[in-house]
Amino acid sequence: MDNVAKLEIDGKSYSLPIAVGSEKERGIDISTLRQSTGCITLDESYGNTGSCRSNITFIDGEKGILRYRGIPIEVLAEQSSFVETAWLLIYGRLPNRKELKRFSDLLTQNEMLHEDLKFHFEGFPAHAHPMAILSAMINATSCFVPGVLDAYDPAKFELQAARLLSKVRTIAAFAFRKSRGLPIVYPKPAFKYTANFLHMMFSDPYEEYDLKPEVVRALDMIFLLHADHEQNCSTSTVRMIASSQANIFACAAGGVCALWGPLHGGANQAVIEMLEDIHRSGDDGSKFIVAAKDKKSGRKLMGFGHRVYKNYDPRAKIIKEQCDKMLRLLKIDDPLLDIAKKLEEAALHDSYFVERKLYPNVDFYSGIIMRAIGIPLEMFTVIFAIGRMPGWIANYKEVMDQVGGRISRPRQIYMGPTEQPYVQIDQRIKK
């Protein structure tokens, strides 16, 4: 295979080096292109553009492979925990017992919010979307975190990262409680990460939530499966903000906003809304599939398709298995799961979806589990954000640890008007 690409422009030939990744992916390195040819590349929505070299997560979309620091997602889902996987993503290897305990203790020590932050929650209307609250309160929390505005210091990173990962869970639970007019429930140091989140979400001052181990395990796995996914929209946003050397809380708040869109993390909420619509209409899904193939309908089969996976999303497979287990355990018969399975079966045998290689993605079944656990619809994308936090933190660290890292600043092809005179107001077009 060549390690140089040849480019010819206006009869002149140029050689561009080809970067080769550890999994033999190849990328034409165009970092000197404009300087040597006067041209830039154009790749709207970046489908063909690598923004960085990264050591964190590997995806092979054709084969449906996903590995965090080289470890297959299926193995981590089976044998690891969200907190251990967070450490793996952030620091690049599995922690030893001492490192894991230190990290877990740091998360416990930093689970509370400054008491004055309670007043910020008061300011939101009850119907405020928790993603808006989450993004706002991550930045508000940073105002109470000492040293957060100091220049990046690897020695201080560990504490800032633990603060962010721990507090995001508390902010999310407090946002939910406020939205329901319920008293906030403080974290309990005796509980580990995911159990504490469920405690803060569903306990009451007079009665503790019944923490079923299987439910804790299922949500912990949901967090783990969402923990990172290479250069998706929200992670790329975090890296973009990090490249300006903004602080880690600002980067996370930006990631939350990017994740919110229904084409990205907001899809898990949109899937359930889609399934509920189908259920309410009495359709078994077949009518909906017809609409989803018709561009004019404005409908998509939410939870299906992916920019990178042109095969079944390995996370969707794991979550689908968990759905069946969770509903059996909780003795729930959710008609939406049956509709989802019918939609999947129909789509996987429909030429429109097969030709476009559209398969279920991570969002197609995750909402079914969250519903079964009792997590409200408007909190689904918040759950995704909590899960993705380690990936954002790991990518932030990778950007900040780069020696000589530069600010990310794409170019453009300008299509607007060429030079124009300033026209006095009385001479302007009268509409």
Residues with catalytic roles:
306, 363
- Hey, which residues between 366 and 425 contact ligand SDX (CB under 6 A)? none
What tokens does 424 get?
């006095």
Q: Which of residues 122-161 bind ligand SDX (CB under 6 A)?
A: none
Q: Is 303 in the site for ligand SDX (CB under 6 A)?
A: yes
Count of residues interacting with ligand SDX (CB under 6 A): 21
Which of positions 264-293 make contact with ligand SDX (CB under 6 A)?
264-265, 267, 292
Minimum CB distance to ligand SDX smaller for 212 or for 307? 307
Q: How far apart are CA 230 and CA 65, in angstroms?
A: 12
Please give the residues from 176 up to 235 whose contact with ligand SDX meets the rule CB under 6 A.
Answer: 229, 232
| Contact (CB, 8 A) for 382 and 134 | yes
Give the one residue of 34, 328, 356, 374 binding ligand SDX; rule: CB under 6 A: 356
Q: What is the Cα 236 distance to its own chain's centre?
A: 10
Nearer to ligand SDX, 97 or 296 (CB): 296
Do 198 and 211 form a contact (C-beta atoms < 8 A)?
A: yes
From the number of C-beta atoms within 10 Å of its C-beta (0-12, 13-18, 19+), residue 394 rates as buried
Beta carbon nearer to ligand SDX, 178 or 229: 229
What are 104's two structure tokens? 């877990």
Which residue, 198, 190, 203, 200, is CA-closest to 218? Answer: 198
DSSP 114: P
Stretch that binds ligand SDX, among 9-17, 296-304, 320-328, 334-342 (CB under 6 A): 296-304
Reduced to 3 states, what is the DSSP secondary structure of residue 237? helix
Q: Report whether 175 contacts 117 (CB < 8 A).
A: no
CA atoms within 13 A on the CB side of 162: 21
Tell me the closest approach of the beta carbon of residue 243 to ligand SDX, in angstroms. 19
Task: Name the token pair of 262.
Answer: 């229904």
Could you report how far apart the first and last alpha carbons of the chain are, in Å?
Answer: 61
- Window of 17-25, 91-99, 166-174, 360-368 that interacts with ligand SDX by CB under 6 A: 360-368
Which residues ranging from 60 to 119 are in contact with ligand SDX (CB under 6 A)? Answer: none
**Residue number, 110 or 232, with CB nearest to ligand SDX:** 232
Which CB, 87 or 364, lies closer to ligand SDX?
364
Cβ nearer to ligand SDX, comparing 203 with 234: 234
Please report how close the Cβ of residue 61 comes to ligand SDX at its closest, in angstroms: 9
| In the complex, minimum distance from the CB of residue 299 to ligand SDX, in angstroms, rounded to a whole number | 8
DSSP state of 421: P
Residues that bind ligand SDX (CB under 6 A): 229, 232, 263-265, 267, 292, 300-308, 356, 358, 361-363
